[in-house]
Chain A
Amino acid sequence: MGLGFPALAIAALLMLAAFLLGLHVASTLGLLSVTLFAWFSDRPILDLLGLIAWNANTSFVLVAIPLFILMGEILLRAGLSERLYRSLSAWLNALPGGLLHTNIAACATFAAVSGSSVATAATIGSIALPAFRARGYDERIVVGSLAAGGTLGILIPPSINFIVYGVLMEVSIGRLYMAGVVPGLLLSLLFMAWILVVGVARPSIAPREPAVAWQQRLIALLDMIPTAFLIFLVLGTIYLGVATPTEAAAFGVLGALALALWSGGLTRAMLKEVFRATARTTAMVMLILTGAFILNSTLAFLGVPQALTQAVAAWDLTPTEMVLILVGFYLVLGTFMDGFAMMVTTIPVVLPLLKAMNIDLVWFGVIAVILTEAALISPPEGLNLYVIQGLRKGGGGRSGTILDVWIGVLPFLVIMLFAIWLIIVFPGIATWLPTTMRGE
C-alpha cells in the first residue's frame, strides 16, 4: 500500500506517452493498472480482474448506452433529420446569417434525441452541407457552425457522456440530464447570437434568404411532430419520474423504430447496418470503460484517493481556483486527446479532489461535459472536426482543407469558454432545473 506521488506521476507520464504513441486507450488503461497493482500489492490480480470486468459490464445504468447508440443509428437512417432541418429553416431563414442558424437549431434539437456529439454532427452535417452548396455562404463559418453545433449532442440530454460521468462519479443520471438542459439551450442561443452578430456586421458571409410565408411555416411545424414526440418519449419520461434513463432509452429505440417503419426506411439491410454500427460503438465504449474501472479500482486499492484528499488540503486552494485549474488542464488535454477517453481516464483522480472541496458533482459534470465538447472541436485533434471535413470531402467537387474547419470553429470554442465562465459565476444555470424534478 501507499503509492507515493512520484509513482503516480511516473504512471501518469507513462500513460501520456502510451497515448501519444497511439496505443489503444483501453489496453493502456488496463495494462498500466495491472502493472501498478502487481508492483505495489501481492494480492492475486486475476481474481480481482475478472470481478472488476464483470461488475463494470453488468451495471444497469450503463445499459442505457447501447440503447441510446442503437436509437441514434436508427434515426440516422430514418429520414427524420431532413424534415427537421427543412422545417427549422422555414422559421429561421430570414434572420441575418440565414441558413447558418438552422445548423445550430437542428443540432440542438437532434441533440435532444441523440446521446453522441459525433452522431449529431454526422447526421445534421450530412443534410446541411449539400444545402449550402453554391449559395454563397462563407465556407468557414458553415463548417465551424456544424462542427460546434454537433457537440451539443452530449450536453443536451440524452447524453452518453453524462451516463459515463454519472456512473464513475456516482451521481444520478437523471439529475445530470436535467442539469444539462439549460446550459445546452444557453450555448445554442450564444452560438446563434454570434452568427447573428457576424451576419449583421459582415453581410458578405451569408446571403439574405427570402422570408418564408407564415402559412408555409405553420405547415412546416407538422414535420416537427415526430421529433417532438421522440423528445417527449425520452426526456419527458425521465423528467416526470416515469422512467429511468435506461427505460427511457428503450422507449427511444422503439419510437425510432416506429418512425423508420412509418417513413419506409426499415429494411433488412438497414437493420444489419444499424446492428453493426451499434456493436462497433458499444464495444468501443465498453472496452475503454472496462479499462477505466480497472484503473479506478487499482488507484482506490493503492490509496490514491485518500492521498489526494490529504494533499489537496495542503494546497490551500478555494473551490473556484480548483475548478479553474481543472478547466485549464482539460483544455490543454483536449487539444490532442479524445474527449471521452480524456474524461474516463482522469475522473478517478479528479473525483477525490472535488469531494474534498465539497464541489457540487452535478454542477461540475456540466462543466466537464462542455470541456469534452471543447475537446471535440479544439484543433488540431478533435473528432468533430474530422467528421465535418470527411463529409465535405465525401460530397464531391472541390473542397477546402481541414484548415477551414480549424479556423471556423475558433469563435465557437471561445463561446464555449464564455459559457463555462457563466456557469461558474451563476451556478444556478446548471443546478436549478434538477431541483424541480419529480421526486426531488
Chain B
Amino acid sequence: MSEERYPPDEGAPSAAERLQQAVGAVTDRMALASGGLFLLLAVYIGADVILRYGFGLSTAASDEIGGYALAVGGALAFAYALRAGAHVRIDVLLPHLPAPARALLSWAAMALMAVFAVLLAVAVWRLALDSYQTDARAVSYLRTPLVLPQALMALGLTVLGVEAVVSLIAAAVESARTGRLASPGGTRSEDLPARDQEL
C-alpha cells in the first residue's frame, strides 16, 4: 500500500513520474521494514532483560544486535524521510523569497544531499567490501561477519542517493514541460502536514 504522493496532473504519467512512483513504492516498503525492525528489536531486548532477571539467562548480544538494527533500520529509512521532507532544513528565509529563488535553493539542497549520500554510500560500500575481503568479524561470541550489516547500511545510503537524483530528474522534466523552474520534490511542503513528528 504505497502512498500516492505524486498524482499525475492530467493524462498518463510521464516516464519521469513513473520512475519516481516506482522509487517511492520501494522506499515506502523500506520504511515499513525499518519500523518493523525496531519493533522486533524492542521485543528481543525486552525478552532478553526478562530472561536475564527471571531465569539468569541472556543472549548477551543485545548490544551488538541493537547496534546493527540501528544502523540498518536508520539507513533503510533515509530515502523515505527525504521524500517525506523530514530531513531538517532551516526555513526561516525560504518562505520570504520569490518562487524562482526558492526553487533554485531547493535544487541546491537536493543536489548537495545527492553528493552527501553518494559520498557516504561509497565510503560504507568500501568498508563493507573491505570487511568481506578480510573476513572481518565482530569481537563477540556471535562473530558476526560485519559485511552483512555494513552492506545493508550501504544499500540504504545508495537508495537515498537514488531518491535525490530521481527527484532532480523529475524536477528537470517538470521544468522543461511547464517552462518554469520546478522544485525537486514538487510542492511537498504544502502537501504534507508540517514536519509533524520531529524533535
Contacts and interface: CB of A to CB of B under 8 A. Distances in A.
Interface stretch (B6-14, B15-23, B83-91, B170-178): B83-91
Interface string A334-348: 001111110000000
A111 B105 CA distance: 36
Interface in A37-76: 46-47, 49-51, 53-54, 57-60, 62-63, 65-67, 69-70, 73
Contact of B88 (A69, A275, A276, A341): A341
Given A58-B68, A251-B46, A276-B80, A338 B1 contact: no
A104 interface: no
Interface residues of B, dominant DSSP? helix
B36 A161 contact: no
A161 B63 contact: no
A132 B20 CA distance: 43
A383 B45 CA distance: 32
B39 A70 contact: yes
A23 interface: yes
B115 A31 contact: yes
A204 to B, nearest CB: 32
* Interface-central residue, A26, A31, A285, by most chain B CB under 10 Å: A26
A70 B117 CA distance: 25
Nearest to A288: B88
Contacts of B53: 242
A154 B198 CA distance: 12
A26 B36 contact: no
A250 B1 CA distance: 28
A288 B90 CA distance: 13
Q: Is the interface of A mostly helix, strand, loop or mixed?
A: helix
Interface band, chain A: 35 or more
A118 B196 contact: yes
Contact of B80 (A30, A31, A65, A283): A283
A89 interface: no
Nearest to B27: A279
B66 to A, nearest CB: 4
Nearest to A160: B199
B169 interface: no
A339 B199 contact: yes
A298 interface: no
A59 B70 contact: yes
Q: Which of A60, A63, A116, A338 has the most CB of B within 10 A?
A: A63
Given A250-B41, A284-B198, 8 more contacts: A49-B123, A67-B38, A116-B199, A254-B42, A275-B32, A275-B35, A276-B35, A280-B86
15 contacts: A23-B105, A24-B89, A25-B89, A25-B90, A26-B113, A30-B116, A63-B70, A118-B197, A250-B44, A254-B46, A275-B35, A278-B34, A283-B77, A290-B120, A341-B88
